[in-house]
């Protein structure tokens, strides 16, 4: 046997064993034997560098490529979103519409709605050539190198077909728990749920990181079936499986709304036992000929809906409440809860938002409360179980002074929040430092919360300008910081001196001035001096900015302490000029909301003005009326004519929980 023959044999064996393990869940060999063959292949490839290693060799899945960024990918066939139904009545309305449009005897295929990240994979002659995210459905990002590290994704199909397949990448529950355990040990921020973890893993610039995250996939769609011999969704699943793509086996063919509902209840009852997270059931008309007759709206197919599970609710106990001060001085109560598992992860803390929220819900110490996750992400207290409250219970004592610096807390007229106005408050300083170093601000690699805490406690840094006074000798005073890491951190801080003005502006943490607003302002004024010397009226006139942002920006730079801080930054050589290209394209924000026209209607639980600012900072245009140009309508309680018009025009409609879920993904 030649070396080439041996290489081919080992690759075929390992590919087959990986398929059995990761796709079929039926391994035919133990891990030790697989590892032995893998090492043999690895050593043989190294010993014969003259023989080119094919891109689909099992050894090419380990990552090792460091990407500069993710290029945009246009989807030749759009990835549509699905309309949602939330109860049995809405489901029956859907099946009744199908009956009226198609006639009796409609078949539906019901599949689990995997809570992950949508993928589109392109194979040429059966070889994987491109993997892309869904993006906005029309344009996504090229994540090919990262997807190649996922063991369940075949680098070569069993047939030499030219095809685009679609599915979902997800993080198994076990992988998620293991990842968060490791992050906790390292003092890193924990992922909220497996979906966020999967999305973050697939957007790593270092493919080795993705390879370690143990992601998996399920595939359920062929973008263009014109060259594939299939006539139904059921046949698509069989074909994908035949091509060695991983397909979820938990699906059912149904003929009535009652059968569909039975399947939904069965799935919901066994949801916790699944090794992966789901958030609903997708219901599709099975036959493609009928799908074609039904067609699409602007946003979604008429022949499919997604039944969304209601948020899981669990009981827990409020053990204590922490009062925390953020970088803008806002006092935020956080409940410490008896640990409980909800929507896929353990929760022991939940924000109580503000004083008014605490009073409205009448939340007290030792109360038994109902907890849920808004959008399956953000832990929230829904209500107190009053029948379980002790008779001796007393209302929660609301602080009158800052818990950190003891300054009197102020309730400003236009806010529900209590606020500490002391600019020297240590809690505000530390959170401002963290924000200044964050990814979309100055992006100081290695300057995490633990380092900042030490810098502050040792009086080495009292404001953001002090960061630039640090040298290697001072950094070596910190615990667990050796010469190499001190040198790296010093270089990382010094490198940010050349950052463009909009990063500095955003990093200063000015109220209501998000990443997008900072870009717009920096681009308009070009220099920090131009911003400081301007009038509030001039800021208001800038396209895309409103009075709220203008007032906040103007007030901030009139503060004498701020002027001293800017002068201090200048003295350390921090750039004060806008350095980006002046093309309009730069103003595009890489977010789901970028370029979308959005309408808010009904009563929102969050402050409407703040929601508007957040959306605008992410590139959206928020308007007051619904028209054909509207892309998305956010609906609160008691929504009226705007909701009706949106439904008539077929515009995508979200509830507030869905909005908060997406905003948390962007943040």
Q: What is the CATH number of the domain that holds 350?
A: 2.40.50.140
- Tell whether 575 and 603 lie within a shared domain: no
244 and 102 together in one domain: yes
What is the DSSP secondary-structure string of 573-598? T---B--S---GGGG--SSTTTT-EE
Number of folded domains that form the chain? 5
Residues 263 and 145 in one domain: yes
pLDDT at position 125 is 95
- Helix runs in 496-620, H state only: 501-507, 515-525, 528-532, 536-540, 547-558, 560-571, 608-617
- Tens of pLDDT, residue by residue over 579-588, are 876 544 434 4
Which positions ≥6 away from 541 have C-beta within 8 Å? none
Q: What is the pLDDT of residues 360-390, one digit of tens each?
A: 999 999 999 999 887 556 788 999 999 999 9
CA neighbours closer than 13 Å in the CB half-sphere of residue 450: 11
Q: What is the DSSP string of 313-367?
A: -EEEEEEEEEEEE-TT-BEEEEEEEEEEEETTEEEEEEE--SHHHHHHHT--TT-
Whether residues 407 and 448 share a domain: the answer is no
Residue in 113, 308, 373, 430 annotated catalytic: 113
Predicted confidence (pLDDT) at residue 283 exceeds the cutoff of 90: yes
Helices (H), 80-193: 88-102, 144-147, 173-185
pLDDT > 90 in the chain, percent: 45
Q: State how far the Cα of 363 lies from the Cα of 235, in Å rounded to an integer.
A: 53
CA distance 209 to 201: 7
Among residues 546, 561, 585, the one where a domain terminates is 585
Q: Are residues 152 and 223 in the same domain?
A: yes
Q: How confident is the model at residue 288 (pLDDT cuts 50, 70, 90)?
A: very high
| Span 157-171, pLDDT tens digits | 999 999 999 999 999
Helices 426-437/449-457 angle, 10° precision: 140
Task: Give 156's DSSP letter.
Answer: B
Q: How far apart are CA 112 and CA 264, in angstroms?
A: 9
| Most confidently predicted of 274-288, 429-443, 536-550 | 274-288
3-state secondary structure of 625: coil
For residues 157 and 301, membership in a common domain is answered with yes
Residue 70 maps to a domain: no
- The answer to whether residues 573 and 641 belong to one domain is no
Indicate left, alpha or beta for 176 from its phi (over 0: left) and psi (-120 to 50: alpha). Answer: alpha
CA–CA–CA angle 636, 637, 640 (5° rounding):
90
Clarify whether residues 95 and 206 are in a common domain. Answer: yes
Beta strands in 202-344 (DSSP E): 216-222, 251-254, 278-285, 304-308, 314-325, 331-342
Residue 331 falls inside a structural domain: yes
- Residue 69 within any structural domain of the chain: no
Q: Which of 221, 225, 217 is nearest to 240 (CA)?
A: 221
Q: 106 and 145 share a domain?
A: yes
Q: Which of 61, 87, 104 is the last residue of a domain?
A: 61
CATH number where 18 lies: 1.10.287.610
In a domain, 501, yes or no: yes
| Domain harbouring 651, CATH code | 3.40.50.10190
Our answer to whether residue 391 is catalytic in this structure is: no
Q: What is the pLDDT of residues 121-137, one digit of tens each?
A: 999 999 999 999 988 78
Q: Is 512 helix (H, G, I), strand (E, B) or coil?
A: coil
Kindly state whether residue 420 falls inside one of the protein's structural domains. Answer: no
**What's the full length of the chain, in residues?**
667
Last residue of a domain, one of 308, 341, 359: 308
Q: Which domain holds residue 603?
A: 590-666
pTM: 0.59
Q: What angle do CA 652, 658, 664 make, to 5 degrees?
A: 125
CATH number at residue 469: 1.10.150.20
One domain, residues 645 and 661: yes
* 68 located within any domain: no
């Amino acid at each position: 046997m030649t070396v080439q023959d041996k290489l081919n044999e080992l690759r075929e064996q390992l590919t087959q064993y990986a398929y059995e393990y990761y796709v079929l869940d039926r391994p035919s060999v133990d891990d030790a034997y697989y590892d032995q063959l893998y090492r043999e292949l690895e050593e043989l490839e190294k010993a014969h560098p003259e023989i080119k290693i094919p891109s689909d060799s099992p050894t090419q899945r380990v990552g090792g490529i460091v990407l500069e960024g993710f290029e945009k990918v246009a989807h030749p066939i759009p990835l549509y979103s699905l309309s949602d139904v939330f109860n049995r009545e809405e489901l029956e309305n859907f099946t009744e519409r199908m009956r009226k449009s198609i006639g009796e005897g409609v078949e539906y295929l019901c599949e689990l709605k995997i809570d992950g990240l949508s993928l589109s994979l392109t194979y040429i002659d059966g070889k994987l050539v491109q993997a892309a995210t869904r993006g906005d459905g029309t344009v996504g990002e090229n994540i090919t190198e990262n997807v190649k590290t996922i063991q369940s994704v075949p680098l070569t199909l069993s047939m030499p077909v030219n095809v685009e397949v679609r599915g979902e990448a997800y993080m198994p529950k076990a992988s998620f728990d293991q990842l968060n355990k490791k992050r906790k040990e390292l003092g890193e921020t924990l992922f909220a749920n497996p979906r966020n973890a999967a999305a973050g893993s697939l957007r790593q610039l270092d493919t080795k990181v993705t390879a370690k995250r143990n992601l998996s996939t399920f595939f359920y769609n062929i973008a263009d079936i014109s060259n594939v011999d299939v006539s139904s969704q059921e046949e698509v699943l069989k074909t994908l499986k035949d091509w060695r793509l991983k397909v979820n086996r938990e699906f059912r063919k149904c003929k009535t709304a009652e059968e569909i509902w039975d399947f939904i209840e069965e799935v919901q009852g066994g949801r916790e036992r699944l090794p992966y997270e789901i958030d609903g059931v997708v219901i599709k008309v099975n036959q493609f000929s009928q799908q074609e007759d039904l067609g699409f709206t602007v946003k979604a197919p008429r022949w499919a809906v997604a039944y969304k599970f209601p948020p899981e609710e669990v009981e827990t106990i409020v053990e204590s409440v922490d009062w925390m001060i953020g970088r803008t001085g806002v006092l935020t109560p956080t409940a410490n809860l008896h640990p409980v598992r909800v929507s896929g992860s353990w929760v022991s803390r939940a924000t109580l938002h503000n004083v008014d929220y605490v009073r409205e819900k009448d939340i007290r110490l030792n109360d038994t409360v109902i907890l849920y996750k808004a959008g399956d992400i953000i832990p929230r207290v829904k209500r107190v179980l009053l029948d379980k409250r002790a008779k001796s219970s007393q209302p929660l004592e609301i602080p009158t002074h800052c818990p950190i610096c003891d300054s009197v807390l102020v309730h400003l007229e236009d806010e529900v929040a209590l606020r500490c106005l002391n600019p020297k408050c240590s809690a505000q300083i530390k959170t401002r430092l963290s924000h200044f170093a964050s990814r979309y601000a100055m992006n100081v690699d290695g300057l995490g919360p633990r380092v900042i805490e030490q810098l502050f406690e040792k009086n080495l840094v009292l404001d953001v300008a002090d960061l630039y006074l640090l040298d290697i000798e001072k950094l070596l005073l910190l615990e667990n910081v050796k010469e190499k890491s001190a040198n790296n951190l010093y270089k990382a801080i010094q490198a940010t001196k050349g950052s463009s003005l909009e990063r500095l502006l955003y990093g200063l943490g000015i109220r209501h001035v998000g990443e997008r607003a900072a870009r717009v302002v920096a681009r308009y004024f070009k220099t920090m001096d131009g911003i400081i010397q301007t009038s509030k009226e001039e800021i208001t006139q800038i396209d895309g900015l409103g009075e709220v942002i203008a007032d906040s920006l103007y007030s901030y730079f009139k503060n004498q302490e701020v002027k001293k801080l800017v002068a201090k930054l200048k003295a350390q050589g921090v750039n004060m000029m806008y350095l980006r290209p002046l093309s309009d394209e730069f103003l595009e924000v890489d977010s789901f909301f970028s370029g979308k026209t959005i309408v808010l209607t009904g009563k929102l639980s969050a402050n409407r003005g703040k929601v508007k600012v957040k959306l605008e900072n992410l590139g959206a245009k928020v308007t007051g009326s619904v028209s054909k140009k509207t892309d998305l309508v956010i609906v609160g309680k008691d929504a009226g004519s705007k909701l009706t018009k949106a439904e008539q025009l077929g515009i995508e409609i979200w509830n507030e929980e869905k909005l908060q879920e997406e905003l948390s993904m962007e943040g």
